[in-house]
Amino acid sequence: MSEKAASESRPLNFIEQIIKKDLDEGVHSNVVTRFPPEPNGYLHIGHAKSICLNFGLAQTFGGQCNLRFDDTNPEKEEMEYVESIKRDVEWLGFEWAGDVRYASSYFDQFYEWALHLIREGKAYVCHLSPEETKEYRGWATKPGKDSPYRNRSVEENLAEFEKMRAGEYDEGACVLRAKIDMASPNMNMRDPMLYRIRKQAHHQTGDKWCIYPTYDFAHGQEDAIEGISHSICTLEFADHRPLYEWFIENLPVPSKPRQYEFARLELNYTVTSKRKLKQLVDENHVDGWDDPRMPTISGMRRRGYSPASLRNFCEMIGVTKSGSTIDVGQLEYCVRDDLNNNAPRAMCVINPLKVTIENVKPETKKTMVQPVHPNKEELGERELPFSREIYIDRADFSEDTTLSRKKFKRLVLGEYVRLRGSYVIKADAVITDENGEPTEIVATLVPKTVGENPPEGIKPRGVIHWVDANDCVDCEVRLYDRLFNDEAPDAGDKNFLDALNPESLQIISGCKAEKGLVNARAEQSYQFEREGYFCLDSKYSSDDKLVFNRTIGLKDNWKK
Protein backbone atom coordinates (compact mmCIF):
# COMPACT_ATOMS: atom_id res chain seq x y z
CA MET A 1 0.00 0.00 0.00
CA SER A 2 1.29 3.44 -0.86
CA GLU A 3 1.50 6.25 1.68
CA LYS A 4 -1.17 8.11 -0.27
CA ALA A 5 -3.55 5.15 -0.22
CA ALA A 6 -3.02 4.66 3.51
CA SER A 7 -3.64 8.30 4.32
CA GLU A 8 -6.78 8.39 2.22
CA SER A 9 -8.26 5.31 3.87
CA ARG A 10 -7.78 6.50 7.48
CA PRO A 11 -5.95 9.13 9.52
CA LEU A 12 -2.25 8.46 10.09
CA ASN A 13 -1.42 7.08 13.52
CA PHE A 14 1.15 8.90 15.62
CA ILE A 15 4.08 6.78 14.39
CA GLU A 16 3.09 7.29 10.77
CA GLN A 17 2.92 11.03 11.45
CA ILE A 18 6.48 10.93 12.84
CA ILE A 19 7.76 8.99 9.84
CA LYS A 20 6.00 11.26 7.35
CA LYS A 21 7.50 14.31 9.06
CA ASP A 22 10.99 12.75 9.03
CA LEU A 23 10.71 12.01 5.32
CA ASP A 24 9.30 15.46 4.50
CA GLU A 25 12.10 17.19 6.42
CA GLY A 26 14.85 14.97 5.03
CA VAL A 27 15.76 13.41 8.38
CA HIS A 28 15.58 10.07 6.57
CA SER A 29 15.49 9.34 2.88
CA ASN A 30 13.97 5.91 3.31
CA VAL A 31 12.23 3.91 6.03
CA VAL A 32 13.81 0.81 7.56
CA THR A 33 11.97 -0.98 10.37
CA ARG A 34 12.52 -4.34 11.99
CA PHE A 35 10.59 -7.05 13.81
CA PRO A 36 12.96 -8.33 16.54
CA PRO A 37 11.51 -11.33 18.44
CA GLU A 38 13.49 -13.34 20.96
CA PRO A 39 13.28 -17.03 19.93
CA ASN A 40 12.25 -18.26 23.38
CA GLY A 41 8.68 -19.26 22.58
CA TYR A 42 5.98 -19.12 19.94
CA LEU A 43 4.55 -15.77 18.86
CA HIS A 44 1.16 -14.69 20.19
CA ILE A 45 -1.55 -12.21 19.22
CA GLY A 46 0.44 -9.32 20.72
CA HIS A 47 3.32 -10.11 18.39
CA ALA A 48 0.86 -10.14 15.50
CA LYS A 49 0.15 -6.48 16.22
CA SER A 50 3.88 -5.70 16.21
CA ILE A 51 4.38 -7.65 12.98
CA CYS A 52 1.53 -5.82 11.26
CA LEU A 53 2.83 -2.48 12.53
CA ASN A 54 6.50 -2.87 11.57
CA PHE A 55 5.95 -4.56 8.23
CA GLY A 56 2.96 -2.32 7.56
CA LEU A 57 5.00 0.85 8.11
CA ALA A 58 7.59 -0.38 5.64
CA GLN A 59 4.87 -1.13 3.07
CA THR A 60 3.09 2.17 3.62
CA PHE A 61 6.21 4.27 3.11
CA GLY A 62 7.90 2.13 0.46
CA GLY A 63 10.69 1.01 2.79
CA GLN A 64 11.89 -2.32 4.12
CA CYS A 65 11.42 -4.37 7.28
CA ASN A 66 14.04 -6.76 8.64
CA LEU A 67 13.28 -9.96 10.52
CA ARG A 68 15.91 -10.14 13.24
CA PHE A 69 16.14 -12.58 16.10
CA ASP A 70 17.35 -11.06 19.37
CA ASP A 71 19.08 -14.29 20.36
CA THR A 72 21.25 -13.14 23.26
CA ASN A 73 20.10 -15.74 25.80
CA PRO A 74 21.00 -19.31 24.75
CA GLU A 75 19.51 -20.72 27.94
CA LYS A 76 15.93 -20.23 26.74
CA GLU A 77 16.24 -20.14 22.94
CA GLU A 78 15.73 -22.94 20.42
CA MET A 79 15.74 -23.37 16.65
CA GLU A 80 12.18 -24.70 16.93
CA TYR A 81 11.10 -21.21 17.94
CA VAL A 82 13.13 -19.60 15.15
CA GLU A 83 11.40 -21.71 12.51
CA SER A 84 7.94 -21.20 14.01
CA ILE A 85 8.41 -17.41 14.00
CA LYS A 86 9.46 -17.41 10.36
CA ARG A 87 6.35 -19.43 9.46
CA ASP A 88 4.12 -17.04 11.40
CA VAL A 89 5.46 -13.93 9.66
CA GLU A 90 5.04 -15.52 6.25
CA TRP A 91 1.56 -16.81 7.08
CA LEU A 92 0.46 -13.32 8.08
CA GLY A 93 1.37 -12.26 4.55
CA PHE A 94 4.63 -10.38 5.06
CA GLU A 95 8.07 -10.70 3.50
CA TRP A 96 11.22 -9.55 5.25
CA ALA A 97 14.03 -7.73 3.49
CA GLY A 98 17.04 -9.85 2.55
CA ASP A 99 18.16 -12.74 4.73
CA VAL A 100 16.94 -13.43 8.23
CA ARG A 101 19.17 -11.57 10.68
CA TYR A 102 20.42 -12.58 14.12
CA ALA A 103 21.86 -10.58 17.01
CA SER A 104 24.36 -13.42 17.34
CA SER A 105 25.78 -12.50 13.92
CA TYR A 106 27.03 -9.28 15.55
CA PHE A 107 28.59 -10.84 18.67
CA ASP A 108 32.14 -10.07 17.51
CA GLN A 109 31.21 -6.43 16.98
CA PHE A 110 29.44 -6.21 20.35
CA TYR A 111 32.56 -7.57 22.03
CA GLU A 112 34.71 -4.92 20.36
CA TRP A 113 32.29 -2.22 21.45
CA ALA A 114 32.39 -3.54 25.01
CA LEU A 115 36.19 -3.21 24.88
CA HIS A 116 35.73 0.33 23.56
CA LEU A 117 33.62 1.27 26.60
CA ILE A 118 36.20 -0.25 28.94
CA ARG A 119 39.03 1.68 27.29
CA GLU A 120 36.99 4.86 27.56
CA GLY A 121 36.54 4.25 31.28
CA LYS A 122 32.79 3.72 30.79
CA ALA A 123 32.52 0.02 31.67
CA TYR A 124 33.94 -2.23 34.38
CA VAL A 125 33.89 -5.84 35.52
CA CYS A 126 31.93 -6.21 38.75
CA HIS A 127 32.24 -9.17 41.14
CA LEU A 128 29.29 -8.32 43.36
CA SER A 129 26.92 -11.26 43.84
CA PRO A 130 23.39 -10.90 42.45
CA GLU A 131 22.10 -10.25 45.97
CA GLU A 132 24.76 -7.62 46.63
CA THR A 133 24.11 -6.00 43.25
CA LYS A 134 20.43 -5.66 44.13
CA GLU A 135 21.30 -4.10 47.47
CA TYR A 136 23.79 -1.64 45.95
CA ARG A 137 21.30 -0.68 43.24
CA GLY A 138 18.95 1.00 45.71
CA TRP A 139 15.24 1.62 45.17
CA ALA A 140 13.18 3.84 42.92
CA THR A 141 13.09 6.42 45.71
CA LYS A 142 16.56 5.70 47.11
CA PRO A 143 19.83 6.30 45.20
CA GLY A 144 22.14 3.37 44.69
CA LYS A 145 25.77 3.26 45.79
CA ASP A 146 28.89 2.59 43.78
CA SER A 147 30.20 -0.95 43.46
CA PRO A 148 33.59 -1.40 45.16
CA TYR A 149 34.85 -2.58 41.75
CA ARG A 150 33.65 0.55 39.92
CA ASN A 151 36.97 2.37 39.95
CA ARG A 152 39.21 -0.39 38.70
CA SER A 153 41.80 0.69 36.16
CA VAL A 154 41.22 0.24 32.45
CA GLU A 155 44.00 -2.34 32.31
CA GLU A 156 42.52 -4.37 35.15
CA ASN A 157 39.06 -4.30 33.58
CA LEU A 158 40.43 -5.40 30.21
CA ALA A 159 42.20 -8.30 31.89
CA GLU A 160 39.14 -9.31 33.90
CA PHE A 161 36.89 -9.13 30.84
CA GLU A 162 39.30 -11.36 28.94
CA LYS A 163 39.13 -13.87 31.79
CA MET A 164 35.35 -13.81 31.50
CA ARG A 165 35.59 -14.52 27.79
CA ALA A 166 38.13 -17.28 28.32
CA GLY A 167 35.78 -19.10 30.69
CA GLU A 168 37.96 -18.67 33.78
CA TYR A 169 34.99 -17.62 35.92
CA ASP A 170 31.86 -19.58 36.82
CA GLU A 171 28.42 -18.35 35.88
CA GLY A 172 27.35 -15.57 38.22
CA ALA A 173 30.86 -14.83 39.43
CA CYS A 174 31.03 -11.47 37.68
CA VAL A 175 29.48 -9.30 34.97
CA LEU A 176 30.50 -6.38 32.79
CA ARG A 177 28.61 -3.19 33.69
CA ALA A 178 28.35 0.24 32.12
CA LYS A 179 29.56 3.11 34.30
CA ILE A 180 26.74 5.66 34.16
CA ASP A 181 25.00 6.99 37.28
CA MET A 182 24.13 5.03 40.42
CA ALA A 183 22.01 7.96 41.64
CA SER A 184 19.89 8.23 38.50
CA PRO A 185 16.12 8.31 39.12
CA ASN A 186 15.88 5.90 36.16
CA MET A 187 16.84 2.49 37.52
CA ASN A 188 17.93 1.37 34.06
CA MET A 189 20.77 3.90 34.15
CA ARG A 190 22.28 2.64 37.40
CA ASP A 191 25.33 0.92 35.92
CA PRO A 192 23.38 -1.66 33.89
CA MET A 193 24.79 -5.04 32.99
CA LEU A 194 26.34 -5.38 29.52
CA TYR A 195 27.67 -8.95 29.59
CA ARG A 196 27.07 -12.01 31.75
CA ILE A 197 28.59 -15.48 31.79
CA ARG A 198 26.52 -18.30 30.26
CA LYS A 199 28.45 -21.53 29.74
CA GLN A 200 25.94 -22.87 27.29
CA ALA A 201 26.05 -23.60 23.56
CA HIS A 202 24.16 -21.19 21.30
CA HIS A 203 21.89 -22.37 18.50
CA GLN A 204 23.74 -20.15 16.00
CA THR A 205 27.30 -19.74 17.33
CA GLY A 206 27.80 -23.10 19.05
CA ASP A 207 30.48 -23.05 21.77
CA LYS A 208 32.33 -19.98 20.50
CA TRP A 209 31.15 -17.79 23.38
CA CYS A 210 30.64 -18.28 27.09
CA ILE A 211 29.73 -14.62 27.65
CA TYR A 212 26.64 -13.08 26.12
CA PRO A 213 25.45 -9.47 25.78
CA THR A 214 22.26 -8.38 27.46
CA TYR A 215 19.24 -7.37 25.42
CA ASP A 216 19.62 -3.72 26.44
CA PHE A 217 23.23 -3.60 25.29
CA ALA A 218 22.64 -5.43 22.02
CA HIS A 219 19.34 -4.02 20.83
CA GLY A 220 20.24 -0.46 19.92
CA GLN A 221 23.51 -1.49 18.36
CA GLU A 222 21.72 -4.05 16.19
CA ASP A 223 19.46 -1.24 14.98
CA ALA A 224 22.50 0.93 14.27
CA ILE A 225 24.29 -1.80 12.31
CA GLU A 226 21.21 -2.44 10.18
CA GLY A 227 20.50 1.24 9.59
CA ILE A 228 17.06 1.10 11.22
CA SER A 229 15.38 4.47 10.84
CA HIS A 230 12.55 3.95 13.33
CA SER A 231 12.90 1.41 16.13
CA ILE A 232 9.38 0.59 17.32
CA CYS A 233 8.94 -0.89 20.81
CA THR A 234 6.09 -1.38 23.26
CA LEU A 235 5.54 1.01 26.17
CA GLU A 236 7.40 -1.04 28.78
CA PHE A 237 10.62 -0.09 26.98
CA ALA A 238 10.04 3.67 27.36
CA ASP A 239 12.17 3.74 30.53
CA HIS A 240 14.90 1.90 28.62
CA ARG A 241 15.09 4.58 25.91
CA PRO A 242 17.65 6.78 27.79
CA LEU A 243 19.93 3.74 28.03
CA TYR A 244 19.34 2.93 24.36
CA GLU A 245 20.40 6.49 23.51
CA TRP A 246 23.38 6.42 25.90
CA PHE A 247 24.87 3.44 24.08
CA ILE A 248 24.25 5.04 20.68
CA GLU A 249 25.98 8.24 21.82
CA ASN A 250 28.94 6.54 23.49
CA LEU A 251 29.80 3.96 20.84
CA PRO A 252 31.21 4.45 17.31
CA VAL A 253 28.05 3.06 15.68
CA PRO A 254 27.46 3.48 11.92
CA SER A 255 24.03 5.12 12.31
CA LYS A 256 21.86 6.66 15.01
CA PRO A 257 18.38 5.13 15.13
CA ARG A 258 15.65 6.43 17.43
CA GLN A 259 13.25 4.42 19.54
CA TYR A 260 9.49 5.04 19.64
CA GLU A 261 7.00 3.28 21.89
CA PHE A 262 3.38 2.24 21.38
CA ALA A 263 0.84 0.49 23.61
CA ARG A 264 1.07 -3.28 23.53
CA LEU A 265 -1.98 -5.39 22.81
CA GLU A 266 -3.81 -6.55 25.92
CA LEU A 267 -6.85 -8.83 25.48
CA ASN A 268 -9.35 -9.88 28.09
CA TYR A 269 -9.93 -13.61 28.68
CA THR A 270 -6.34 -14.07 27.49
CA VAL A 271 -2.85 -14.64 28.87
CA THR A 272 0.09 -13.57 26.70
CA SER A 273 3.03 -13.94 29.08
CA LYS A 274 5.48 -16.30 27.35
CA ARG A 275 6.36 -17.76 30.72
CA LYS A 276 2.73 -18.58 31.46
CA LEU A 277 2.08 -19.87 27.96
CA LYS A 278 5.09 -22.15 28.32
CA GLN A 279 3.73 -23.32 31.67
CA LEU A 280 0.43 -24.24 30.00
CA VAL A 281 2.38 -26.31 27.48
CA ASP A 282 4.86 -27.90 29.90
CA GLU A 283 2.14 -28.89 32.37
CA ASN A 284 -0.09 -30.31 29.61
CA HIS A 285 -3.00 -27.99 30.22
CA VAL A 286 -3.03 -27.58 26.44
CA ASP A 287 -1.94 -29.67 23.48
CA GLY A 288 1.26 -27.80 22.67
CA TRP A 289 2.07 -24.25 21.59
CA ASP A 290 -0.25 -24.65 18.59
CA ASP A 291 -3.26 -25.80 20.61
CA PRO A 292 -6.25 -24.04 18.99
CA ARG A 293 -7.19 -22.52 22.36
CA MET A 294 -3.82 -20.79 22.71
CA PRO A 295 -3.43 -17.10 21.75
CA THR A 296 -0.37 -18.05 19.70
CA ILE A 297 -0.38 -17.30 15.99
CA SER A 298 0.21 -20.99 15.26
CA GLY A 299 -2.69 -21.92 17.56
CA MET A 300 -5.02 -19.46 15.87
CA ARG A 301 -3.89 -20.71 12.46
CA ARG A 302 -4.63 -24.32 13.45
CA ARG A 303 -8.00 -23.24 14.80
CA GLY A 304 -8.92 -21.69 11.46
CA TYR A 305 -8.36 -17.97 11.94
CA SER A 306 -7.39 -16.37 8.64
CA PRO A 307 -4.37 -14.08 8.16
CA ALA A 308 -6.73 -11.38 6.87
CA SER A 309 -8.83 -11.51 10.04
CA LEU A 310 -5.76 -10.89 12.24
CA ARG A 311 -4.54 -8.08 10.01
CA ASN A 312 -8.02 -6.51 10.04
CA PHE A 313 -8.14 -6.79 13.82
CA CYS A 314 -4.77 -5.06 14.22
CA GLU A 315 -5.95 -2.33 11.86
CA MET A 316 -9.22 -1.94 13.79
CA ILE A 317 -7.65 -1.46 17.23
CA GLY A 318 -5.10 1.02 15.91
CA VAL A 319 -1.78 2.23 17.29
CA THR A 320 -1.78 4.48 20.36
CA LYS A 321 0.46 5.62 23.19
CA SER A 322 -1.99 4.72 25.95
CA GLY A 323 -2.52 1.18 27.10
CA SER A 324 -5.97 -0.43 27.35
CA THR A 325 -7.50 -3.87 27.40
CA ILE A 326 -9.25 -4.85 24.19
CA ASP A 327 -12.35 -7.03 24.31
CA VAL A 328 -11.51 -10.39 22.71
CA GLY A 329 -14.96 -10.11 21.12
CA GLN A 330 -13.43 -7.59 18.70
CA LEU A 331 -10.96 -10.20 17.51
CA GLU A 332 -13.74 -12.76 17.22
CA TYR A 333 -15.83 -10.25 15.25
CA CYS A 334 -13.01 -9.84 12.72
CA VAL A 335 -12.63 -13.62 12.41
CA ARG A 336 -16.38 -14.15 12.01
CA ASP A 337 -16.72 -11.30 9.51
CA ASP A 338 -13.88 -12.54 7.30
CA LEU A 339 -15.06 -16.16 7.34
CA ASN A 340 -18.67 -15.18 6.66
CA ASN A 341 -17.49 -13.38 3.52
CA ASN A 342 -15.03 -16.01 2.33
CA ALA A 343 -15.56 -19.47 3.81
CA PRO A 344 -17.16 -22.11 1.55
CA ARG A 345 -20.37 -23.63 2.90
CA ALA A 346 -20.83 -27.26 3.84
CA MET A 347 -23.15 -29.38 5.96
CA CYS A 348 -22.09 -31.52 8.90
CA VAL A 349 -24.39 -33.29 11.34
CA ILE A 350 -22.59 -33.28 14.67
CA ASN A 351 -25.08 -35.41 16.64
CA PRO A 352 -26.72 -37.58 13.97
CA LEU A 353 -30.25 -38.95 14.11
CA LYS A 354 -31.38 -41.18 11.27
CA VAL A 355 -34.44 -40.26 9.20
CA THR A 356 -36.07 -42.83 6.89
CA ILE A 357 -38.26 -41.24 4.22
CA GLU A 358 -40.89 -43.89 3.49
CA ASN A 359 -42.20 -42.51 0.20
CA VAL A 360 -38.71 -42.63 -1.35
CA LYS A 361 -37.80 -45.96 -2.90
CA PRO A 362 -34.73 -47.73 -1.45
CA GLU A 363 -32.91 -47.63 -4.79
CA THR A 364 -33.52 -43.91 -5.31
CA LYS A 365 -30.41 -41.75 -5.63
CA LYS A 366 -30.81 -38.06 -6.36
CA THR A 367 -28.42 -35.10 -6.40
CA MET A 368 -29.21 -31.76 -4.88
CA VAL A 369 -27.19 -28.71 -5.90
CA GLN A 370 -26.13 -25.90 -3.59
CA PRO A 371 -23.79 -22.93 -4.04
CA VAL A 372 -20.32 -23.19 -2.54
CA HIS A 373 -20.92 -19.66 -1.21
CA PRO A 374 -24.29 -17.86 -1.42
CA ASN A 375 -22.70 -14.55 -2.42
CA LYS A 376 -19.85 -15.77 -4.62
CA GLU A 377 -21.09 -17.33 -7.83
CA GLU A 378 -17.51 -17.64 -9.06
CA LEU A 379 -16.89 -20.39 -6.50
CA GLY A 380 -19.40 -22.62 -8.26
CA GLU A 381 -21.74 -25.24 -6.87
CA ARG A 382 -21.48 -28.38 -4.79
CA GLU A 383 -23.45 -31.61 -5.26
CA LEU A 384 -25.28 -33.23 -2.35
CA PRO A 385 -26.43 -36.86 -2.63
CA PHE A 386 -30.00 -37.55 -1.47
CA SER A 387 -31.65 -40.93 -0.85
CA ARG A 388 -34.24 -42.68 1.31
CA GLU A 389 -32.08 -42.39 4.45
CA ILE A 390 -30.57 -39.18 5.75
CA TYR A 391 -29.17 -37.82 8.99
CA ILE A 392 -30.34 -34.72 10.79
CA ASP A 393 -29.03 -33.34 14.08
CA ARG A 394 -30.67 -34.78 17.18
CA ALA A 395 -31.19 -31.25 18.51
CA ASP A 396 -33.34 -30.46 15.44
CA PHE A 397 -36.13 -32.88 16.39
CA SER A 398 -38.69 -32.89 19.16
CA GLU A 399 -41.66 -35.08 19.98
CA ASP A 400 -43.22 -32.19 21.91
CA THR A 401 -46.04 -30.97 19.71
CA THR A 402 -46.78 -28.11 22.11
CA LEU A 403 -43.60 -26.25 21.22
CA SER A 404 -44.31 -22.88 19.64
CA ARG A 405 -43.14 -22.24 16.09
CA LYS A 406 -41.41 -19.08 17.26
CA LYS A 407 -39.25 -20.89 19.79
CA PHE A 408 -38.56 -24.14 17.92
CA LYS A 409 -38.18 -23.67 14.18
CA ARG A 410 -37.20 -27.27 13.53
CA LEU A 411 -38.78 -30.69 13.07
CA VAL A 412 -41.63 -31.66 15.40
CA LEU A 413 -43.53 -34.94 15.34
CA GLY A 414 -46.51 -34.59 13.01
CA GLU A 415 -45.23 -31.37 11.40
CA TYR A 416 -43.12 -30.19 8.48
CA VAL A 417 -39.63 -28.79 8.04
CA ARG A 418 -37.53 -27.98 5.00
CA LEU A 419 -34.23 -29.70 4.42
CA ARG A 420 -31.62 -27.14 3.35
CA GLY A 421 -31.54 -27.07 -0.46
CA SER A 422 -33.88 -30.04 -0.70
CA TYR A 423 -37.41 -31.25 0.04
CA VAL A 424 -39.96 -30.42 2.68
CA ILE A 425 -40.47 -33.46 4.92
CA LYS A 426 -42.97 -34.41 7.60
CA ALA A 427 -42.16 -36.43 10.74
CA ASP A 428 -44.77 -39.18 10.91
CA ALA A 429 -43.40 -41.41 13.66
CA VAL A 430 -40.43 -41.90 15.94
CA ILE A 431 -38.64 -45.06 16.98
CA THR A 432 -37.07 -45.00 20.44
CA ASP A 433 -34.73 -47.18 22.49
CA GLU A 434 -35.40 -48.77 25.88
CA ASN A 435 -34.71 -45.41 27.52
CA GLY A 436 -37.21 -43.58 25.38
CA GLU A 437 -34.51 -41.80 23.37
CA PRO A 438 -35.18 -41.36 19.63
CA THR A 439 -33.11 -43.64 17.40
CA GLU A 440 -34.92 -43.09 14.09
CA ILE A 441 -37.58 -40.87 12.59
CA VAL A 442 -40.01 -42.15 10.01
CA ALA A 443 -40.94 -39.38 7.60
CA THR A 444 -42.45 -38.57 4.22
CA LEU A 445 -41.38 -35.92 1.77
CA VAL A 446 -43.61 -33.48 -0.01
CA PRO A 447 -43.01 -33.89 -3.78
CA LYS A 448 -41.99 -30.99 -5.99
CA THR A 449 -40.71 -28.85 -3.12
CA VAL A 450 -37.04 -28.61 -4.14
CA GLY A 451 -36.63 -24.89 -4.71
CA GLU A 452 -40.43 -24.54 -4.72
CA ASN A 453 -42.98 -23.51 -2.13
CA PRO A 454 -45.03 -26.39 -0.69
CA PRO A 455 -48.75 -26.68 -1.49
CA GLU A 456 -51.20 -24.45 0.32
CA GLY A 457 -51.80 -25.55 3.87
CA ILE A 458 -48.31 -26.98 4.40
CA LYS A 459 -46.19 -24.63 6.50
CA PRO A 460 -42.69 -25.82 7.39
CA ARG A 461 -41.50 -24.67 10.80
CA GLY A 462 -38.04 -23.79 9.51
CA VAL A 463 -34.99 -25.02 7.62
CA ILE A 464 -32.54 -27.61 8.98
CA HIS A 465 -29.29 -29.11 7.65
CA TRP A 466 -28.80 -32.77 6.79
CA VAL A 467 -26.53 -35.25 5.01
CA ASP A 468 -27.22 -38.40 3.06
CA ALA A 469 -26.83 -41.44 5.31
CA ASN A 470 -25.49 -43.66 2.53
CA ASP A 471 -23.07 -41.22 0.91
CA CYS A 472 -21.35 -39.10 3.56
CA VAL A 473 -18.06 -39.09 5.44
CA ASP A 474 -17.42 -39.85 9.09
CA CYS A 475 -15.51 -37.26 11.05
CA GLU A 476 -14.57 -36.07 14.50
CA VAL A 477 -15.48 -32.57 15.56
CA ARG A 478 -13.62 -30.60 18.23
CA LEU A 479 -15.62 -27.78 19.73
CA TYR A 480 -13.15 -25.20 21.00
CA ASP A 481 -14.09 -22.32 23.27
CA ARG A 482 -12.14 -19.70 25.20
CA LEU A 483 -9.37 -21.14 27.32
CA PHE A 484 -10.20 -18.92 30.32
CA ASN A 485 -13.56 -18.01 31.81
CA ASP A 486 -12.22 -14.99 33.70
CA GLU A 487 -11.90 -11.60 31.98
CA ALA A 488 -8.55 -10.98 33.67
CA PRO A 489 -7.15 -14.45 34.40
CA ASP A 490 -3.74 -13.29 35.64
CA ALA A 491 -4.57 -9.92 37.17
CA GLY A 492 -3.29 -9.04 40.62
CA ASP A 493 -2.53 -12.05 42.80
CA LYS A 494 -4.66 -14.48 40.80
CA ASN A 495 -3.36 -17.88 39.80
CA PHE A 496 -4.25 -17.91 36.12
CA LEU A 497 -4.61 -21.70 36.17
CA ASP A 498 -7.64 -21.31 38.44
CA ALA A 499 -9.40 -19.51 35.58
CA LEU A 500 -9.04 -22.34 33.06
CA ASN A 501 -12.36 -23.04 31.36
CA PRO A 502 -13.18 -26.76 31.89
CA GLU A 503 -15.45 -26.61 28.84
CA SER A 504 -12.88 -25.14 26.47
CA LEU A 505 -12.72 -28.37 24.46
CA GLN A 506 -15.38 -30.94 23.65
CA ILE A 507 -14.46 -33.83 21.36
CA ILE A 508 -17.35 -35.44 19.46
CA SER A 509 -16.86 -38.55 17.34
CA GLY A 510 -19.32 -40.19 14.96
CA CYS A 511 -20.23 -36.96 13.18
CA LYS A 512 -21.49 -37.12 9.58
CA ALA A 513 -20.41 -34.63 6.93
CA GLU A 514 -21.28 -34.07 3.29
CA LYS A 515 -19.02 -36.16 1.09
CA GLY A 516 -17.18 -33.23 -0.52
CA LEU A 517 -15.37 -32.60 2.76
CA VAL A 518 -13.26 -35.70 2.17
CA ASN A 519 -11.16 -33.35 0.02
CA ALA A 520 -10.80 -30.69 2.73
CA ARG A 521 -7.29 -29.42 3.34
CA ALA A 522 -5.74 -28.17 6.55
CA GLU A 523 -6.38 -24.51 7.42
CA GLN A 524 -9.17 -24.23 4.82
CA SER A 525 -12.15 -22.86 6.70
CA TYR A 526 -15.75 -23.84 6.06
CA GLN A 527 -19.03 -22.63 7.39
CA PHE A 528 -20.84 -25.71 8.61
CA GLU A 529 -24.33 -24.41 7.98
CA ARG A 530 -26.22 -23.58 11.17
CA GLU A 531 -23.27 -24.79 13.30
CA GLY A 532 -20.37 -22.37 12.93
CA TYR A 533 -17.00 -22.09 11.20
CA PHE A 534 -14.70 -25.10 11.11
CA CYS A 535 -11.40 -26.14 9.56
CA LEU A 536 -9.61 -29.43 9.09
CA ASP A 537 -7.15 -29.98 11.91
CA SER A 538 -3.54 -30.04 10.74
CA LYS A 539 -2.33 -32.25 13.59
CA TYR A 540 -4.75 -35.12 14.04
CA SER A 541 -6.34 -35.50 10.62
CA SER A 542 -5.06 -38.28 8.37
CA ASP A 543 -6.07 -40.23 5.29
CA ASP A 544 -8.13 -42.47 7.58
CA LYS A 545 -9.56 -39.84 9.92
CA LEU A 546 -11.04 -36.39 9.41
CA VAL A 547 -10.90 -34.05 12.40
CA PHE A 548 -12.53 -30.64 12.18
CA ASN A 549 -11.88 -27.82 14.66
CA ARG A 550 -14.55 -25.27 15.44
CA THR A 551 -12.99 -21.92 14.71
CA ILE A 552 -15.85 -19.84 16.05
CA GLY A 553 -19.63 -19.96 16.34
CA LEU A 554 -22.01 -18.16 14.02
CA LYS A 555 -22.94 -15.83 16.87
CA ASP A 556 -21.16 -14.46 19.93
CA ASN A 557 -22.31 -16.57 22.87
CA TRP A 558 -20.21 -14.57 25.35
CA LYS A 559 -22.08 -11.28 25.06
CA LYS A 560 -23.01 -9.88 28.44
In what helix (H) or strand (E) does residue 69 lie, and over which residues does it extend? strand 64-69
SS3 419: strand
Q: Which residues pair with 259 in a beta bridge?
A: 231
CA triple 262-44-532, angle to 5 deg: 115
The rounded distance, in Å, linking the Cα atoms of 484 and 111 is 45
Q: Give all strands (DSSP E) within 187-281, no chain letters.
A: 193-197, 211-213, 230-234, 258-262, 266-267
Are the C-beta atoms of 522 and 539 separated by less than 8 Å? Answer: no
Query: What is the chain's alpha carbon radius of gyration, rounded to the nearest angstrom?
Result: 31
SS3 501: coil
The rounded distance, in Å, linking the Cα atoms of 479 and 19 is 45
The rounded distance, in Å, linking the Cα atoms of 535 and 526 is 6
Are the C-beta atoms of 137 and 104 separated by less than 8 Å? Answer: no
The rounded distance, in Å, linking the Cα atoms of 362 and 387 is 7
Per the annotation, the verdict on 274 as an active-site residue is: yes
Alpha helical stretches, state H, 10-75: 14-24, 45-60
Please name which of 93, 91, 46 lies closest in space to residue 523, comparing C-alpha atoms.
91
Per the annotation, the verdict on 531 as an active-site residue is: no
DSSP label of 302: H
Task: Point out the catalytic residue in the list 3, 20, 38, 539.
Answer: 38
Please name which of 503, 510, 513, 515 lies closest in space to residue 476, comparing C-alpha atoms.
510
Task: Point out the catalytic residue in the list 87, 264, 394, 420.
Answer: 264
Task: Point out the catalytic residue in the list 274, 345, 482, 512.
Answer: 274
Q: Listing from the earlier edge strand, what are the strands of the sheet with 211-213?
A: 123-126, 175-178, 193-197, 211-213
The catalytic site residues sit at 38, 264, 274
